[in-house]
Amino acid sequence: MPSLTRFLAFSTVAVSLADCGLIYPAFQGVPASNADPYNFNGTSTDANSIASTAFRVHQKSGATTNAPPNLPAANTTVTAVDGDMVIPVSRRSLSSIRTIDNDMSRRTNSDYEQVFGGTGTESEDRDAAIIGTAYLTYTLVSNSTYNVGDCLAFCDATAGCVFVNLYYEFNNEMLDHVYSQHSNLKCAAYGDVHSAEEKLNFGGQSLSGTSDGPLTYIQQSSGWTSKSFGDPSTPEGYDPLPDLGGANEAPGYMGFVFLNKYDVDACAAICNAQDPDDVGGSCKYFNIWRAVVDGVPTTYTCALYYIPADTSTAINYGQGNLTVTQSRGYKRITYVLDGGFEDYACDGLSFCYTDTTAGWLASSPKDGYYDASIFHYQPYAHSGEAVALLGSATGHDNYSGMLTYGSSLSTEAGVRYVIEFFHSSFYSGREGEVDAFVEVYWNGSLIGTIRPGYSQWKYYKFEVVGQGNDELYFRGGKAPSYDFIDDIFVMQT
């Protein structure tokens, strides 16, 4: 930290600079242009919009009369975005990742329990199949008996299956004569547990091609669920929070999507791909939870945030007849520690600067002086109290400085990462900032340059591929063209 003697030595210079209209940052100068402070708490979870959309969304389905058996399990799809319904067409970015892990791949019949039974198989008995959320696929099992065992084995073999609906479907010629199984005993797999209240498919379709042909009908519809559910695997590049009792109501909210099933990996992919917020940058946290309306699973919320939330804000347990269940939170891992320089403090003072912190080294070329530095001073920062500066803090010279992360990153070879940061160059005014620039280096190689000239705080990102234990540094500034850098993150894409 600069000594008191150094501050006194520069005081006369500071006065003369004031006469010229510019006080250099080292002397606690005031930027030529002041923007209003950013309100990072200005966007909070819109719980009302999420709830109202949950009451309107329709994403329940089941095995249809004309679909063949043994199709691949349905891909994860988006059904609503920020209150607007979406035609549920599978998105490539979601379907290309792995589906919900099946942690009970070696379950036996004893690992299941019956949720509800059928109504019988007498000639006059009628029943209905489930129409519910998170439908995956179906198969046909032998109808020589009411073949519960083979149906449960099918669930074991279907990724994400936790529930099956077993039932007879009559007067469907495709089942009886076309499909190779020649069986009318359907076994439908779901990624969520359903109840008899959701028996809504009574048949009633004519598949003969004539108006007076026999109508399909359902018999002996029963439901079976796993007795235990493993936690979803943690997505790559994320850390899980402890179990949340409710949904988060937190600042830094970026919006929400509904998914057709509870898919943590899909929610992570959406977070990674979310357009950055002008104030907060990229998505760094998501909260996924299951909405139950009137006791029936209805949709799966993926809420996005640029500020990682915690358990203290998990206070939304539901609204009216909507209940929040299975709420989980995942924080995106940053491989840069103290990317906001907040570990640097002033021992109770509001203003100080240095060229070295526990995590960062700011260096100058030969004969340069404080051409890179780290300030603890809120008016200079994008967020918090601290920020890095490129360009001679004292106005000693017009050399460019280097800001280097103090250790190798815990990155892996072959993995794609995004480097993101916020930058401003408005301290010296439009003419003074004409030469502002920042170069970004990854393992000593230049990967990108920005030449913004005069600019308020703005978000930037560069994508790189890790070599393992990678190194990061920035070079820039040319006083009086000053470049401030804050909120640096390195995350998996």
Of the two residues 450 and 12, the one the predictor is more confident about is 450
Residue 173 main-chain phi, psi, to 5 deg: -60, -30
- Check pLDDT > 80 for residue 250: yes
Nearest alpha-carbon partner for 411 in 445, 388, 443: 443
- Check pLDDT > 60 for residue 18: no
* 3-class DSSP state of 28: coil
**Of all helices (H) and strands (E), which one includes residue 404?**
strand 401-405
Nearest alpha-carbon partner for 14 in 2, 26, 3: 26
Cis preceding linkage at 480, omega within 30: yes
Asked if residue 88 lies in contact with residue 79, where contact means CB atoms within 8 angstroms, the answer is: yes
Report which residue type is found at 462: F
| Arch. (CATH architecture) of 4-30+337-492 | Sandwich (2.60)
Mean pLDDT of 382-394: 97
Mean pLDDT (the chain, rounded): 91
Binned at pLDDT 50, 70 and 90, residue 40 comes out as: confident
Binned at pLDDT 50, 70 and 90, residue 88 comes out as: low
Report the predicted TM-score, pTM, of the whole model to 2 decimal places: 0.90
Asked if residue 340 lies in contact with residue 383, where contact means CB atoms within 8 angstroms, the answer is: yes
Predicted confidence (pLDDT) per residue in 201-245, tens digit = 999 998 877 778 899 999 999 999 999 888 899 999 999 999 899
Percent of the chain with pLDDT over 70: 91
Q: Structural domain boundaries of the chain?
A: 4-30+337-492, 47-53+237-332, 102-226
